[in-house]
Structure 1
Amino acid sequence: MAALWSRTRQSASDEALIRSLYEEHGRALLAYAVRLTSDHAAAEDVVQETLIRAWRHPEVLVNGKGSIRGWLLTVARNIITDRYRAKAARPTEVHESPANPPVERDHAEAVVDSMFVLEALDRLSPDHRDVLREIYLRGRTVTETATTLGLPVGTVKSRSHYALKALREIYSAKPTALKEVAA
């Protein structure tokens, strides 16, 4: 019981010490922190952290060595320096803008879809695959594809039609096809 009473009495004296520190040095400490941070809210946080450190080390304040205000200002400067270094060590934050839109969804689904499309293309005949590759991957017209592959225009149209039809059938069975690809 005596230990509890002693701890309560010590806590009350520590609180009184911190209150008197704040009343005597709070304004100067805040002005100094605002000058160093250029941010009033951040400066208030620094003052609070400084007083917490003073509360944790009351022996420094009552030992009679040096100036109390000097110690508080040094602690505040060290806190600001530590925060600045910690912020510099982190990557810079990129704010949302039209040039940097937020990530809306995970790209994993697109990767799975592209793997599925590649697998589906491998299931097509080489003639059908060549026509789709020229038209959709290389962006050629039907006439340009016919010229490149040495085929009549009608044959290119027919092969693209049947190739897309085959892809639709494969795509409609996507869950089953994905299990086969994974196996």
Structure 2
Amino acid sequence: MTAQPRRADRGRDAALRELHDRHAGAIWRYVVALTGRPADADDVVQETLLRAWRTPGILDEEPDQLSGWLFTVARHLVIDQARSARRRHEQTQDEPADEAVEDRTEELLDAILLQDALASLHEHHREVIVRAYFGGRSTAELARELQIAEGTVKSRLHYGLRALRLAFQERGVTR
């Protein structure tokens, strides 16, 4: 009883060798024509013939049907390979991804808008606003630095902020 399975295996092996000899070259050329990569074609031919070996009864098919089946399997393997993560060069990492960078576009646009609005102010108003709000100076410090009265500093701040508010409104800022 053990002799029959061995003879069947030998017959199957011979059929697979014949299948390889008859179709491997044509499948290889077909895959190279599809992909342009001979190294990938070797893998696809091998996998195609392996699937033929694993498919019961495929070796009993008519030669034309078998050839069509082999080329269809090869084509599907090429498609699968093109879709695979390896083809797209995706790689898994053991490390966590870098921290997401906060989108600072809104801040940048606000800064540009502020700079433009400040540029539209009178020089005296712009100077006290920038020094007071961005330099952190008090009215007394500004008065000493600019060599003007504290009341003048307060007046320039008041009218400068009012002009700044109008400049923002002209640019469509309502908040």
TM (normalized to structure 1)? Answer: 0.45
Q: Which has the higher helix share?
A: 1
Tell which structure's C-alpha radius of gyration is larger.
2
